[in-house]
Structure 1
């Protein structure tokens, strides 16, 4: 084999190695994007994320500052629930303690488990919307055809930037009971076969 052929083979191997390393690096970067994005959102409040656990916060009402709060609900396309706010909007004072009530109803004839995922718009306001208690902190178990009221207690932090005068609190309701349903069906068929 000539030097030219050996050199071409070495160049091809080197190129293939570099391409393989680049592909592995891009896969690794793509894999790390989700946790990095989560950390970024937690630190900055970007994406309208709110606190995921209850905060302890004293009421420090600023009567001179009113904020319009709108409520929006969505049900995931696979979730057999009706879900809506009791009121579509309310005016709150910065630093004041408030409650909002939502209603949810299981539209099926069997028990279901649901989870609500919140977000706040504009996204800059997510870290200033403090939930002291929220139905979104835990899964909600519903009996067949059950309807119930769900409560969120919150304070809009008085440190919210002055240019923000309207917030939208959105919840998306998801059905998290698919595995439970599959387990119940498996248990029922096991018992009926015995």
Structure 2
């Protein structure tokens, strides 16, 4: 009977190759995949992410058309705040600037910093929903027990497709206390 003995250098070579593959996969994940994902999302608007501040160039309002805008709020895991819209929905005319308010209350026993991340659905509405002012543009520090009213001013574009008659603006509030502390140092 013939037995095969493996040489230790062959094992070392295989381990080095496998470690190289693992490192390559991790590099691809962070260096290649995330930018490709963000590019795809920006091109298609699939994620419902909205842009930064919008500057209104026209004062025109389409008084003949009505669009319902709904508001939702969520806390990310571990976020100990009460966070909710004061108004559940409004009816707007395209081109009409509207301001609504959300409330946040820090129920933890410590000072915290929150950051709201917006999302719009249906995703086709993303390019037609414009925030001119929003609490989501900045981090929101709240002391323990503090409550704050936070506004968002928006308008629905005159060019919004006819099939869009309801838009949902949703915010998820994240605890960014540690990140804010690191930025300050």
Cα deviation for residue 35 of structure 1 reads 1.3
2:39 alignment partner, SS class: helix
Structure 2 unpaired stretches of 5+: 1-12
Aligned-residue RMSD, C-alpha: 2.4
1:169 alignment partner, SS class: strand
Cα distance in 2, alignment partners of residues 25 and 59 from structure 1: 53
1:47 alignment partner, SS class: coil
User: 2:55 corresponds to which residue?
Assistant: 56
Higher percent of residues as helix:
1
Cα distance in 2, alignment partners of residues 181 and 25 from structure 1: 33
User: 2:106 corresponds to which residue?
Assistant: 106
Structure 1 unpaired stretches of 5+: 1-12, 183-194
Give the aligned length.
166
User: 1:177 corresponds to which residue?
Assistant: 177
The equivalences for 1:135-154 within 5 A come to: 135-154=135-154
Distance change (3 Å), C-alpha of 1:156 and 1:179: closer
User: 2:6 corresponds to which residue?
Assistant: none
User: 1:129 corresponds to which residue?
Assistant: 129
Cα distance in 2, alignment partners of residues 98 and 121 from structure 1: 18
TM-score for the superposition, normalised by structure 1: 0.76
User: 1:70 corresponds to which residue?
Assistant: 70
Of structures 1 and 2, the larger Rg is shown by 1
Cα distance in 1, alignment partners of residues 60 and 139 from structure 2: 31
Q: Deviations over 1:134-163 (max 9, x none)?
A: 000010011121001000000111111110
